[in-house]
């Protein structure tokens, strides 16, 4: 059901991209929109992980450098029957973590120095299980594709507004007489908002899913609950300096950049209180060995 819902959302975003392109530029606009979608999805598929790691300043680490992190990761990866992702540490005091990569065989997990310092073993296990769940569910690839399609829609709408200012919009006078101009105007202003809402819904859904899958992977939710409580408290006091806003959607909790933020209505992450409440209500049946 979750896979079906994700697929429907991606299809809706793709259809919206094509419709926006057609409404703004006619057949040529439709072709441009398709080309943008293919190009941006290709870039996301092959390079989104490298871009996220490079932009955050993440450094690869060895088992000798962070034995506790490797021990937790190797134990959980074996339990989930997943390859061990490449591990990175970000020189950042604010505690956080993210996973990236197009599939389990090309996955990386990055944690900040602040997270390693603040989390006890049970909390670190909960965080790593959450990130491994993103890898297992192909969430990183899905969210990257959604982000690029939504970005392409916004870019096309911006092009449409620019064309409107200088008198060129849609497919000509005949299209305007048939209401094409009005449709294009609606697309220019409403499509980016709709694309953003779909993208945010998808992002929030995958966070709830990763919390649940991670708790089941560990066998109990209490380590992740405690970790989320710590992450929420410290990220309200310690501004994030290394992670760029473009990487914020990948993080286990929304970073604080030391300035005012938009309402939680437009956040890529569900409210922490809601995530913790969902974990408290989770029923996990202990496995019998």
Task: Mark whether 131 is an active-site residue.
Answer: yes
Angle between helical axes of 180-218 and 222-235 (0-180°, round to 10): 130
Sheet with 108-112, side-by-side order of all strands: 59-60, 86-90, 108-112, 97-100
Spatial CB neighbours of 74, under 8 Å, sequence gap ≥ 6: 84
Cα–Cα distances in Å, from 29 out to 34, 156, 157?
9, 9, 11
How far apart CA 205 and CA 193 sit, in angstroms, is 18
* β-strands 108-112, 86-90 pairing: parallel
How far apart CA 131 and CA 249 sit, in angstroms, is 13
How far apart CA 225 and CA 275 sit, in angstroms, is 9
Spatial CB neighbours of 135, under 8 Å, sequence gap ≥ 6: 82, 85, 99, 101, 104, 107, 109
Enter the DSSP assignment of 243.
Answer: S
Looking at 131, 177, 207, 281, which residue is catalytic?
Answer: 131
Catalytically active residues are 131
């Amino acid at each position: 059901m979750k896979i079906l819902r994700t697929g429907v959302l991606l299809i809706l975003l793709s259809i919206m991209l094509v419709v926006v392109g057609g409404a703004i530029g006619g057949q040529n606009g439709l072709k441009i929109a398709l080309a943008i979608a293919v190009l941006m999805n290709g870039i996301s598929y092959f390079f989104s992980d490298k871009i996220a790691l490079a932009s955050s300043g993440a450094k690869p680490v060895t088992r000798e450098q962070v034995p506790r992190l490797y021990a937790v990761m190797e134990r959980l990866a074996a339990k989930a029957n997943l390859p061990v992702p490449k591990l990175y540490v970000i020189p950042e005091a604010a505690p956080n973590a993210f996973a990236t990569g197009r599939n389990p065989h090309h996955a990386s997990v990055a944690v900040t120095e602040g997270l390693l310092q603040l989390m006890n073993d049970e909390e670190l296990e909960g965080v790593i299980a959450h990130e491994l769940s993103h890898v297992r569910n192909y969430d990183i690839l899905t969210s990257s594709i959604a982000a690029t399609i939504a970005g392409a829609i916004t870019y096309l709408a911006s092009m449409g507004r620019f064309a409107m200012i200088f008198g060129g919009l849609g497919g000509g006078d005949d299209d305007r007489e048939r209401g094409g101009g009005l449709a294009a105007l609606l697309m220019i202003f409403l499509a980016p908002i709709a694309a953003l809402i779909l993208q945010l819904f998808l992002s929030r859904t995958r966070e709830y899913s990763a919390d649940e899958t991670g708790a089941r992977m560990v066998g109990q939710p209490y380590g992740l609950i405690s970790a989320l409580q710590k992450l929420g408290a410290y990220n309200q006091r310690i501004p994030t300096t290394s992670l760029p806003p473009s990487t914020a959607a990948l993080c286990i909790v929304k970073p604080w950049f030391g300035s005012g933020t938009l309402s939680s209505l437009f956040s890529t992450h569900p409210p922490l209180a809601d995530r913790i409440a969902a974990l408290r209500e989770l029923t996990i049946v202990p496995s019998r060995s």
